[in-house]
Structure 1
Amino acid sequence: MKKYIVLIISLTIISCNEESVEELNSTLDVGLEFSIVNSNGEDILNPSHPDCIKESDIKLYYLIDGIKKEVYNPNYDFPRNFRIYEHQNEFRIGIFQNHSENEDKPLTYIQWNESETDTIEAAYYRSSNAIIQKKIWLNGDLIWESINGTNPYFILTK
């Protein structure tokens, strides 16, 4: 019996190729978090706030090859590539940005409602097994730069 176990383990190790090992060691760092407050500093992602931003109103669009495409992946845990969640004493929205290889600085559009849209632009470090964000702009203004390992987070006033 021990011979069979050793044989199975040996075959499993031999069957792993370099490509599958590289996939296991890949990094995709394209997330960004926002807290959103009104002019009074109130958390308007909080669903109990009377003027809250409703998750059902939010849509993400990626600009890919010059075409603005709505993000919807029904098989994903977060099909619209964002999620609203409670973080300590506030609500945040986590957004998975466009990381298209065809663009120097891929664009993500956040449509908050029918009349309000913000634009996120990101610069990435790319290698054969990693995509890591270096800089993020919101509506043309630099809001985050990869320094000292800080996570991309921004407080947005609406």
Structure 2
Amino acid sequence: MKNLLTLVCIISFLNLGCKKKACCVIIDTFVSINYVDADNADLLDPTNPNVIKADDIEIYYLENGQKQRVYNGNLDLSKNFKILKTPNSDKYYLSLSVSADLNENGISTTYLEVKKYNFTDTLTATIDKSSSSTRVNKVWYNGAYKGNAKEKTVTFTVVK
């Protein structure tokens, strides 16, 4: 009986460090926006004379009620966006990571300022957070619902 009790104690002690850990941390808060003009010319295409360049764009997150400019000089995407061409078409997209900081209603707010054209647009989103992931869910652009990212990245076109 004493040996059985000792064996149970040893197994219990060894089992303390065997808790299953989450496999991975997934952060997917990207939204893709294609900007076109009234003639459907791609405003992100570098060959367009009216191109919106990365230097023309500033991103701000609403954090704790304060508008904060996004800049992380130690990251490859220091402003949390990139402009890229889709492999299967001639379209260019602004791929933007929206804020994961939620207000009291569970909504994140991201401001996208384009200095060249003097406009600031607002992206709001619901974000699903768990112990191992942060994912964008529903997205609104200037108050207009743009989609649900449950299965894929929310992608849409904006006419400027």
TM range (shorter): 0.7 to 0.9
Q: Structure 1's 17 and 110: CA in aligned 2 closer, same or farther, altered over 3 A?
A: farther
| Other-structure match for 2:124 | 121
Aligned counterpart for 1:140 among listed residues 139, 143, 151: 143
Partners in 2 of 1:43 and 1:126 — Cα distance?
34
Q: Structure 1's 117 and 157: CA in aligned 2 closer, same or farther, altered over 3 A?
A: same
Matches for 1:12-31 after TM superposition, within 5 Å: 21-22=21-22, 24-31=23-30
| Other-structure match for 2:101 | 100
- Higher helix proportion (structure 1 or 2): 1
Matches for 1:82-97 after TM superposition, within 5 Å: 82-88=81-87, 89-97=90-98
Q: Structure 1's 48 and 107: CA in aligned 2 closer, same or farther, altered over 3 A?
A: same
| One-letter amino acid of the counterpart of residue 78, structure 2 | P
Q: Shift of the alpha carbon at 1:151?
A: 2.1
| Other-structure match for 1:63 | 62
Matches for 1:2-81 after TM superposition, within 5 Å: 21-22=21-22, 24-81=23-80
Partners in 2 of 1:56 and 1:18 — Cα distance?
47
Aligned counterpart for 1:155 among listed residues 139, 145, 157: 157
Unaligned regions of 5+ residues in structure 1, if any?
1-15
Larger Rg: 2
State the 4+ residue runs in structure 1 displaced beyond 2 angstroms.
16-19
Q: TM-score w.r.t. structure 2 length?
A: 0.80
Partners in 2 of 1:80 and 1:150 — Cα distance?
23
| One-letter amino acid of the counterpart of residue 36, structure 2 | V
Q: Residue 106 of structure 1: SS of its match in structure 2?
A: strand
Q: How many residue pairs align between the two structures?
A: 141
Q: Shift of the alpha carbon at 1:146?
A: 3.4
| One-letter amino acid of the counterpart of residue 117, structure 1 | T
Q: Residue 47 of structure 1: SS of its match in structure 2?
A: coil
Q: Structure 1's 127 and 55: CA in aligned 2 closer, same or farther, altered over 3 A?
A: same
Q: Structure 1's 140 and 102: CA in aligned 2 closer, same or farther, altered over 3 A?
A: closer
| One-letter amino acid of the counterpart of residue 91, structure 2 | E
Q: Residue 56 of structure 1: SS of its match in structure 2?
A: helix
Q: Shift of the alpha carbon at 1:102?
A: 5.2
Q: Structure 1's 113 and 127: CA in aligned 2 closer, same or farther, altered over 3 A?
A: same
| Other-structure match for 1:9 | none
Which has the higher mean CA deviation after the structures are superposed, 118-127 or 85-94? 85-94
Q: Residue 67 of structure 2: SS of its match in structure 1?
A: strand
| Other-structure match for 1:112 | 114
Q: TM-score w.r.t. structure 1 length?
A: 0.81
